Amino acid sequence: MAVYTHVPAEEIDAFLTRYDAGRLVSAKGIAEGVENSNYLLETTGADGNGHRYILTLYEKRVDEADLPFFMDLLDHLGDRGCLVPRFIADREGRRLQQLSGRPACLIEFLTGISVTEPTAGQARAAGAALGQLHRCAQGFAGERRNALDLPAWHDLARKCGAHFDEIAPGLHQRVSDELAYLDAHWPAGLPRAVIHADLFPDNVLMLGDEVTGLIDFYFSCTDIRAYDLAVTHSAWCFSNDGSVWHGDRGRALVAGYEEAHGLSAEERAAFPVLCRGAALRFLLTRAYDWINTPPDALVTRKDPLAYLRRLDFYAGADAARLLDA
């Protein structure tokens, strides 16, 4: 359950009076997600016909100073036809507010559901949506450093330290070895761009095989563009526990991306290393959260070992196995 800040309904109703959004009809905390507090709001709507919104209160890793970057990026992508939610401005044009002591925004609600066991067809659609996102992001002037890049992985690993081995014996050494490998092999010179950086199935809304929305841009940043495909590959192409690689999904995801955007020979050659980096990144944030979240907290901790298994797979895979049909 990711509702860290409980906002009384009366406070949400009063908050809504700043907008042309109607009065509050219901407010439900959203269980999914781990970073922020999210509520699904139903209102009477400005026209009386009823309307849905997402209310987000920013909690953990989101820095308030980064919010204008995310808002401008979603405007840029939305203007170019990407199915992304807009931040809604109040009557005075303000999109960022304070609510219950937290930075808060009212956000457009998009329909669709997140798949938990994607089919190859859905993976293909996700790859195409990522390619479209990369095409539409071209020309966006904003920049944001990736706060979870290779140097930050070292920091996270230092913070977890000996606690790694409480998760699995030998994990501390495994992470140190992998960081040394990535220090030596992380590609230089690949095209950099604005990337989503967390395009997991829970951040893609779908109806059947069709993508209806891309959400949760709070890790988006400027980094190696093909790293975004590697993150998406690691999230879409395995069983949830990471023990089974679904090659059909992997090939479909890459085919969808290539159709919408394309991959250069250099990006293809670097793909296995980028996937190792992606797997380590999520292993590290999950391990950090695992160590630092009390087991009885309201949020469900995500299993770091599901990303260790992916890492083991990528460490033994070459580009042809990952990319070619």
Ligand X SMILES: N[C@@H](CCOP(=O)(O)O)C(=O)O
Ligand Y SMILES: Nc1ncnc2c1ncn2[C@@H]1O[C@H](COP(=O)(O)OP(=O)(O)O)[C@@H](O)[C@H]1O
Q: Which residues bind ligand X (CB under 6 A)?
A: 33-35, 198, 200, 202-203, 216, 282, 285-286, 302
- Site for ligand Y contains 110 (CB under 6 A): yes
Min dist. Cβ of residue 164 to ligand Y (A) = 24
- Site for ligand Y contains 157 (CB under 6 A): no
Min dist. Cβ of residue 266 to ligand X (A) = 27
Q: Which does 290 bind (CB under 5 to 8 A by kind): ligand Y, ligand X, none?
A: none
Min dist. Cβ of residue 1 to ligand X (A) = 12
Binding test (CB under 6 A) with ligand Y, winner from 44, 97, 114, 293: 114
Min dist. Cβ of residue 76 to ligand Y (A) = 17
Candidate ranges 66-74, 101-109, 174-182, 239-247; the one touching ligand Y (CB under 6 A): 101-109
Q: Which does 85 bind (CB under 5 to 8 A by kind): ligand X, ligand Y, none?
A: ligand Y
Angle at 172 between CA 308 and CA 197, to 5 degrees: 45
- The residue whose two tokens read 């997991």 is 200
- Site for ligand Y contains 89 (CB under 6 A): no
Candidate ranges 69-77, 102-110, 257-265, 286-294; the one touching ligand Y (CB under 6 A): 102-110
Ramachandran angles phi, psi of 105, nearest 5°: -135, 150
The candidate with the shortest Cα–Cα distance to 71, out of 51, 60, 85, 82, is 85
Q: Which does 201 bind (CB under 5 to 8 A by kind): ligand X, ligand Y, none?
A: none
Return d(Cα 163, Cα 165) in angstroms, integer.
5
Q: What count of Cα atoms within 13 Å lies in the side-chain half-sphere of residue 71? A: 16
Nearer to ligand X, 43 or 281 (CB): 281
Candidate ranges 10-18, 106-114, 258-266, 312-320; the one touching ligand Y (CB under 6 A): 106-114
Min dist. Cβ of residue 23 to ligand X (A) = 30
Nearer to ligand X, 222 or 285 (CB): 285
Answer for the pair 32, 202: CB distance below 8 angstroms, yes or no: yes
Nearer to ligand X, 216 or 267 (CB): 216
Residue nearest to ligand Y (CB): 33
Convert 169-178 to b/e letters by CB count within 10 Å (16 or more is b): eebbebbeeb
- Site for ligand Y contains 324 (CB under 6 A): no
Ramachandran angles phi, psi of 226, nearest 5°: -70, -15
Q: Which does 200 bind (CB under 5 to 8 A by kind): ligand Y, ligand X, none?
A: ligand X
Binding test (CB under 6 A) with ligand Y, winner from 85, 103, 242, 304: 85
- Site for ligand Y contains 66 (CB under 6 A): no
| Two structure tokens written together for 18 | 């700043």
- The residue whose two tokens read 């009063």 is 14
Nearer to ligand X, 40 or 319 (CB): 40
Q: What count of Cα atoms within 13 Å lies in the side-chain half-sphere of residue 39? A: 24
- Site for ligand Y contains 32 (CB under 6 A): yes
Residues at the interface with ligand Y (CB under 6 A): 2, 30, 32-36, 38, 54, 85, 107-110, 114, 202-203, 215-216, 218
